[in-house]
Structure 1
Amino acid sequence: MGGLVSAIAFPAPKLARQAYEKLEKRPELVWLATQFGEPIPALYLEPTAISPGAGYVLLYSHGNAEDLGLHMPFIDALAKATGARVFSYEYIGYSLSRFSGGVPSEEACYRSIETAWNYLVDRVDPAKIIVYGRSIGTGPTVDLAARVGDAIAGVFLQSPLESAIRAALGYVSSHTMYPIDIFRNYEKMHKIQCPVAICHGMTDVVVPCDGGKNLLAAAPHPFPPCWLDNYGHNDMPYSKVFAYLNAFLASLPSASSR
């Protein structure tokens, strides 16, 4: 049953290798290797504007049914809108990692973000890093943030899930099916010792907004949330998300002074 949950939870796009030619040609492409030698690609974008994010690095964890090759337009827009550097890494078993035999799983996501984190902290003061997760990407994001304490500047969660089972089947099922549940963010939020901002569509039927509200209530240092009326899981406009993110960045101490 646990294997079935993982299979449903990680529908990695199955595109042909040539679909990633644009990704492979990006000058910002870097290759990382996990503790087990699993190769994962990442893009490290420099800012193109001066705005609230100047001096910060956004460690971005993407949503499900997408990958690093497919969301390049989003992270390009993210770097432009915030003025922050953006480090977008891939999960084991997604995009170019898939062609090396990588198999996606909850633990593989944790290894992937740990690898990305280790790469960054060798080059950047952790106090300048903001971890940003969208949808299932909030799983590795929350896990990392709960483990590093107040070392990072902040946490930004877009359409976060309390857990996979709670998102799909509700609160009661997360107890009856606890052994096979994955990304149990609700158990970790109280450990995050930095500001947490959450943006969620109020008509989200994939990951209900109530989950985002419950996670924010559990965060020790919540930032005023952004609950977007009449938007669901995949239709929140970049402009609204980026405006909220910039407000969050502006509320943090200047990265250049940390």
Structure 2
Amino acid sequence: MKIFVAAVLILACAYGALLLFARLFAERIIFPAPPASYSDDGDIIYLGLPGGGKAAALWIPAKDSKVCAIYSHGNGEDLGEIRPLLEEYARRGISVFAYDYPGYGLSSGKPSIKGLEESSEAAYRHVSEELGFEDSDIAVVGYSLGSAAACEIASRHPGIRCAVIIGGFSKAVKAVLPVNIIPWEMLDNSSKISQFKFPALFMHGRRDMVVPFRNALENYKAAPRGLGRLAEFPDRGHYGLPDSPKYWEEAVGFILSGGRPNRNDKR
């Protein structure tokens, strides 16, 4: 009996230590921002944030395009690193507006969940109010960490055109653990996806070891019936999806069409 009680106490202490660690260091783990990879050559837009901070942003219009994608990038990258990707979206007929979260690139402040949410909303406001796009012409695209920013915009603005979630997690904790052992939610994408009023495309590599494929399945299943589309990449991991022609076929086709209806949804 004493051994059992001791084991329970050890497990309880270990769990308590895990919770304390999560409270103190979770955001540092989620947001390891790299040094800026670019400089301001005159084309950087600065978005005002609550509290006086600024988020660096980039606008790349496509010729004769009436659709704009708000692109939220992944962790460990910034506008400088993703610029070729953004330019490819524009070359394929989709205007794109991208931004750096606080602490990333030339954005001020420190990385945080609050900063991610505030900068994503500032990006939406700029596209809507300054660039003049209607919600029905705005798509949100989020890769990896950016899936949380894309879902945040989508949850605030249910009238948008569609969402494209690439290598996205269902919950931040689930991205690394098979079960949610933390008793509070952090970046809960699947709950927001369940409230979507528009089509959503989920693209994910089957060999993803950073955000396991099960996250894509959970997000897809969370989407309202008929609104979700799942695109699997059997030979891809977390990185390099844009190197596949299928990436562009799926993402561009989905955005330009306003989201292909999924008539094969058997859930």
Which band: TM-score by shorter chain? 0.7 to 0.9
Are 2:250 and 1:244 aligned? Answer: yes
Residue ranges of structure 2 left out of the alignment (5+ in a row): 1-20, 260-267
From the superposition, tell whether residues 240 and 134 of structure 1 become closer, same or farther in structure 2 (CA, over 3 Å): same
Tell me the CA shift for residue 5 of structure 1. Answer: 1.1
2:45 corresponds in structure 1 to 30
Aligned-pair RMSD on alpha carbons? 1.7
Tell me the CA shift for residue 239 of structure 1. Answer: 2.7
C-alpha contact (below 8 Å) 1:189/1:219 kept by paired residues: yes
Q: Distance in 2 between matches of 1:3 and 1:94?
A: 21
Residue ranges of structure 1 left out of the alignment (5+ in a row): 254-258
1:256 corresponds in structure 2 to none
Greater Rg by CA: 2
1:111 corresponds in structure 2 to 118
Q: Secondary structure at the match of 1:133?
A: strand
Tell me the CA shift for residue 14 of structure 1. Answer: 2.3
C-alpha contact (below 8 Å) 1:110/1:140 kept by paired residues: yes
Match of 1:148 among 154, 157, 162: 157
Query: Could you say which structure has the greater relative contact order, defined with CA pairs below 8 angstroms and 6 or more residues apart?
Result: 1
Number of equivalences: 234
- Report the structure, 1 or 2, having the larger helix content: 1
Q: Distance in 2 between matches of 1:187 and 1:252?
A: 22
TM-score by length of 2: 0.83
One-letter amino acid of the counterpart of residue 162, structure 2:
G
Q: Distance in 2 between matches of 1:251 and 1:73?
A: 23
1:76 corresponds in structure 2 to 87
From the superposition, tell whether residues 250 and 140 of structure 1 become closer, same or farther in structure 2 (CA, over 3 Å): closer
TM-score by length of 1: 0.85
1:57 corresponds in structure 2 to 68
Tell me the CA shift for residue 147 of structure 1. Answer: 2.2
Tell me the CA shift for residue 222 of structure 1. Answer: 2.6
Q: Secondary structure at the match of 1:205?
A: coil
- Percent identity of the aligned residues? 28
Q: Distance in 2 between matches of 1:14 and 1:192?
A: 35
Q: Distance in 2 between matches of 1:233 and 1:138?
A: 13
2:191 corresponds in structure 1 to 187
